[in-house]
Amino acid sequence: MMRIAYHLGVHCTDDDRLVRTLHRNKDLLAEAGIEVPAPERYRNLIRDTAIQLKGQAAPTETQALVLDQIMEAEVADRLVLSWENFLAFPAWAVKGQLYRTGGDRMRAIRNIFPDIEAEFFIGLRNPATYLPELHRRQRGRPYDEFIEGTDPLNLRWSDLILNLRERNPEVQITVWADEDTPLIWPEVLQAVADLSEDIALDGENDLLASLMTGDGMIRLASYLDAHPPQTMGQRRRIVSAFLDKFAQTEKLDMSVELPGWTEDMVTTMTETYERDMAYIATLPGVTYLAP
């Protein structure tokens, strides 16, 4: 039986890096029975099909027709679909809570393929940096209209995860913190594609390359060649040490400037986020990827 891995974003975290990396390795993955179609093959199709079905389960004929348009292979063990708008479009991401309708949307999308098991994958970001970046991407939309009475101090990602679990109780969810992604990127790719640790993917160091100096990346590659890590934990410790020394700090420092926000407010939001992520890691049905 094929499974579908849905990578749900969220906005301002991945920017399609995951699907680009996996699609770059599509031939290697295809040998393992993993299909990674190009996003243009399915994003509009899934959106339009879900609208037409109005939340109802698709008949067998519709399932077959949609899969035929998405997949290149006749059969596969795993199908990877990624879109930051699965949960909501950016304008609807903050409405009293984060992705309030996410659970219902994913149930409707899953109902396009009701006979296929699903898994959800989602990277979450500190609201103290997520909200300013999400607002910045909305093309001059006034902050008051963007936040629309929502209290940023009350936002919890656990509300979204609990909603996804409530509306899709049979679906396993894998979660990670976006801030940890540079350290665990290979594990994220392996989890989404369901690959073993011994399969290296082309591009698995691209994220690090975007954050480190060129000299740092050369030294890291040389060190890893000379001292191949035996486990992912060893690799994380090596990468962390090189990031500490060779990171392009301007790319890691996040400025936060929104009307009415204060330094104390940002500190409180960050502390709340850290506690919330620790709580999410304890939830049944949730696998948490930690460095």
Please determine, for residue 252, whether its predicted confidence score (pLDDT) is greater than 60. Answer: no
In terms of Cα–Cα distance, which of 184, 156, 162 is closest to 289? Answer: 184
Q: Which pLDDT score is estimated for 247?
A: 86
What's the pLDDT band for 28 if we cut at 50, 70, 90? very high
Calculate mean pLDDT across residues 147-155.
Answer: 95
Please determine, for residue 166, whether its predicted confidence score (pLDDT) is greater than 60. Answer: yes
Calculate mean pLDDT across residues 204-210.
Answer: 85
Kindly report the pTM of this predicted structure: 0.93
CA dihedral 120, 109, 40, 48 (to 10 degrees): -160
What's the pLDDT band for 1 if we cut at 50, 70, 90? confident
Percent of the chain past pLDDT 70, that is, above it, reads 98
Q: Which pLDDT score is estimated for 185?
A: 93
Please determine, for residue 135, whether its predicted confidence score (pLDDT) is greater than 70. Answer: yes
Calculate mean pLDDT across residues 227-236.
Answer: 85
Lowest mean pLDDT among 39-43, 177-181, 250-254, 278-282: 250-254
Percent of the chain past pLDDT 90, that is, above it, reads 80
- For 50-73, write each residue's pLDDT tens digit: 999 999 999 999 999 999 999 999
Q: Which pLDDT score is estimated for 68?
A: 96
Calculate mean pLDDT across residues 82-94.
Answer: 97
What's the pLDDT band for 253 if we cut at 50, 70, 90? low
Q: Which pLDDT score is estimated for 255?
A: 67
Calculate mean pLDDT across residues 194-217.
Answer: 87
Please determine, for residue 254, whether its predicted confidence score (pLDDT) is greater than 90. Answer: no
Please determine, for residue 250, whether its predicted confidence score (pLDDT) is greater than 70. Answer: no
Q: Which pLDDT score is estimated for 140?
A: 84
